[in-house]
Amino acid sequence: MFSGAYTALVTPFNRDGSVDFLRFTELVVRQAEAGIAGIAPVGTTGESPTLNFDEHSRVIATAVEAAKGRMQVIAGTGANATAEAVELTRRAQDAGADATLQVTPYYNKPNQEGLYRHFSEVATLGLPVVLYNVPGRSGREIAIDTIVRLSANPAIVCVKEAAGSVDRVSAILSRCDIGVLCGDDALTLPMMAVGATGVISVVSNLVPERIVALVQMALEGRWDEARAMHLKHYRLFCDCFLDTNPIPIKAAMAMAGLIEETYRLPLCSMDEGLRAILRETLKEAGVPLV
């Protein structure tokens, strides 16, 4: 159901801190024109923790409207309270999203039975669910056994693997029939080599055509070309995470004239040393800067 290059879309803000919906629409259109298979708005990269309910829902609705059916919209509607995740998902479903990206509940660190019940409750809405395993953010991993249990639910169709482990992809695919999308740009090629069908990328906010090309090469078994593309962009993949995501990617996009570099606290701009490293990497990668 999910195959190709997807973009974990940033949420641009105006200088006064409000959501820049005009610029956001332009970013969605840019992704569609680049051939991206889909976008994932209001996830980690979209700074979801600092958006209120109404902003969150409006960003998703704007994404669906701007996509115009040209690509899938996997709406970030996870939360650490099940009732909140269900309500956000219901709103995304009403807006026309194609799927929901469900992050592991953070901070309260539920046990595996709690995770199973949480994701199962969200799945009762019927909107396809992409589980989001990111223990570095949430403090809790979705165990392989839990993914196997959840895969029996026809609404739970895919896992975004962002735990930094290629081995987990093999473990999942060897035990159940569920899709896997890579959640770490630098691991796109290795994960696809063992069966992932694509990536939910951060770097594709900046260079979507290049991520589309890399993923397509891998899907077509053109491994030598894919490896060359991976190695050519490896430093870019790494340096877009010099600081907490999405700080570096928003800084890079601002350097390229795509957005204003504005965050909501507690996120703030990166220090000048890291910024200089990032700018040099962008130049080496041939990213046009303003």
- Active-site positions read 132, 160
- Helix (H) or strand (E) holding 181, with range, is strand 179-182
The CA distance from 267 to 74, in Å, is 24
The CA distance from 259 to 87, in Å, is 30
What are the structure tokens assigned to 270, written together? 């990166």
The CA distance from 145 to 112, in Å, is 9
Q: C-alpha angle 137/80/41, rounded to 5°?
A: 65
Lookup result for tokens 């060359």: 228
CA nearest neighbour of 133 among 150, 121, 153, 154: 150
Are 145 and 119 spatial neighbours (Cβ–Cβ below 8 Å)?
Answer: no
**Cα-Cα-Cα-Cα dihedral sign, residues 130, 131, 133, 138:** positive
